[in-house]
Structure 1
Amino acid sequence: MLPVSSPTSANGRLSRKDSGMSSSKQTWKFLRRLYKFKHMDFEFAAWQMLYLFIAPRKVYKNFHYHSQTKHQWARDDPAFLVLGAACVLVSCVLYTIVLKLAFHEFILHLVWVLVFDYIILACAIATAFWFCVNKFMRRPESDATVEWRYSFDVHLNAFLPFLVILHIVQVLLMHAGLEQFGFVRLLSNALWLVAFGYYFYITFLGYFSLPFTHRTVAILYPIGLFAIIFVLSLVFEWHFSKTLHVFVTYRVRT
């Protein structure tokens, strides 16, 4: 059972004191809408996806407006989740073409990425952030807490650029760069650094935008670690794309 989100109090924030029953109902309502495509606002979800690349702060401003009108920070429309799954499908098709996977290997790769990477791993990461932010980054004078579903939305927001950069743009460069080093390796590994940087920056914005959090700058610290790994990869001629190729091939053929 995943932790339920806390309902919003009268001042527009999430109260610990309120019952979680209404939040559970909202979560169930959200899940029931997953197969009601006619009721989803795909145009608005696509707008959010675009602005996550060019102006992610605007996306979180919209979350703030949403909290004022819907009395919750989390999305109530699963359109973003569905479009993200479509991006996963596109990336798996590209992997199949570039790595010359058989049809059954494509299906296995799609299941791995869609079920494990996109859903299960996302829930685990969202839960970790949900716990850490509520435990260490919530202002002590506030009784507000972060909704779990909002943490899941923040992860989806941050994961989208990560997915596009590493599983779509990167895979298009991967085939040509597998056996080459030098500039190709530099460009390829730089994309990894950019992808991880985007992930933690957008995650930081998600929690920084909440009015009851502080010290959220700590979320940006891992970017420095990945910068060090990037430099070491150039020194030791470690090609991230080649490692990814070996990993994907191993996962679908064993």
Structure 2
Amino acid sequence: MKYSTSPPISRCNSPVPIETGSNLPMPVTYRQDCMGAATKCYKYLRKLLKFEQMDFEFALWQMIFLFISPQKVYRNFQSRKQTKSQFARDDPAFLVLLMCCLCISSIGFTIVLGLGFLQFVKLLFYMIFIDYLVAGLIVATVFWIITNRYLRIDKTQDVEWGYAFDIHLNAFFPPLVILHIVQLFFYNGLINYDTFSSRFVGNTIWLIAVSYYIYITFLGYTSMEILHKTHIILSTLPIILLIYIMTLCAGINISYLVMEFYHYRVV
């Protein structure tokens, strides 16, 4: 009696659809993608408690290159897709380092605005949970829906929500450093005045930060071959430039207004 020596077909990636003769969903073992989004999310969140498994050195490398050459960062995402079948990060080290940067910036805001300890705690809460996590979840979800519904040319694949969130984190980091760290050194001495030069410096800093965010977001979605017309993201730059000119002409200091907003919501 002869036995087949060919390897068994994996149930996770079976090339032939299996007829079950039932309207019920197929068992997990018969699904095309056994490692679904929920499983990936669970594994990602579980790693948040295991600092020894995080590659902080590589995450720091990514942060540096997001300033000087963000294209190299997205080449790494493409390599991950080839080796691990997913664009999204599977290491939360970048997320943790961003939170550390927010803690540092909160200390800077506390000093510049002259806040107390309880106000610092409130500010830190707002920055991490509202400005960072909640806003990030909303922005990533909006881009995820738009790209999958309107920009996708390969209907057999889709944009991972985790990758959309990673793009937001990448694009968020340079503005975070520019607005929450660098700007603080010049705020009281140069920006916090009702003069044209103060408005020019403050609004220009915001223009640079927002432009960074848009450009890095554009690079993130352009790196996906299943998407087209991603240049639409860059079409927002002329609008941002127009708003910048209008605020200068109208005598609006964006940096001052934002700092006052932060001060107002914690006092």
Q: TM-score, normalised by structure 1?
A: 0.90
Calculate percent identity across the aligned residue pairs. 43
- Matched residue, 1:238: 252
Tell me by how many angstroms 1:157 deviates. Answer: 0.1
1:194 aligns with 2:208: yes
Partner of 2:92: 78
Q: CA deviation at 1:83?
A: 0.3
Is the 1:233–1:239 contact (alpha carbons within 8 Å) kept by the matching residues of 2? Answer: yes
RCO higher in structure (CA 8 A, sep ≥6)? 1
Partners of 2:133 and 2:259 lie apart in 1 by 22
- Equivalence for 2:266: 252
Q: Counterpart of 1:39?
A: 53
Q: Unaligned regions of 5+ residues in structure 2, if any?
A: 1-11, 15-30
Query: Which residue number in structure 2 is paired with residue 28 of structure 1?
Result: 42
| Residue type at the aligned position of 1:101 | L
The amino acid that maps onto 1:163 is L
Change (3 A) 1:36 1:107: same
CA distance in 2, matches of 1:9, 1:131: 26
Task: Provide the rounded CA distance (Å) in 1 between the counterparts of 2:13 and 2:124.
Answer: 41
Structure 1 residues 135 and 103: CA distance shift in structure 2, 3 A? same
- Is the 1:99–1:175 Cα contact (8 Å) retained in structure 2? no
Of 116, 121, 126, the match for 2:135: 121
Identify the residue that residue 98 of structure 1 maps to in structure 2: 112
> Greater CA deviation, 218-227 or 58-67?
218-227
Q: CA RMSD in A?
A: 1.7
Do the aligned partners of 1:173 and 1:188 also contact (CA within 8 Å) in 2? no
Cα distance in 1 for residues equivalent to 2:186 and 2:144: 35
Mapped partners of 1:68, 1:130: distance in 2: 21
| 2:141–2:161 contact (8 Å) kept in structure 1 | yes
Judge conservation of contact 2:56–2:94 (CA < 8 Å) in 1: yes
Max radius of gyration: which structure?
2
Alignment CA distance shift 1:128-1:19 (3 Å): same
Asked if structure 2 preserves the Cα contact closer than 8 Å seen for 1:127 and 1:148, the reply is: yes
Cα separation, 1, equivalents of 2:253 and 2:34? 47
Q: Does residue 154 of structure 1 match 2:172?
A: no
Tell whether 2:94 aligns with 1:52. no
The 1:20–1:106 alpha-carbon spacing in structure 2 relative to 1, beyond 3 Å, is farther
Q: Residue 3 of structure 1 aligns with which residue? A: none
Given residue 166 of structure 1, which amino acid in structure 2 is its aligned partner?
A: L
Compare 183-192 and 67-76 and name the one that shifted more: 183-192
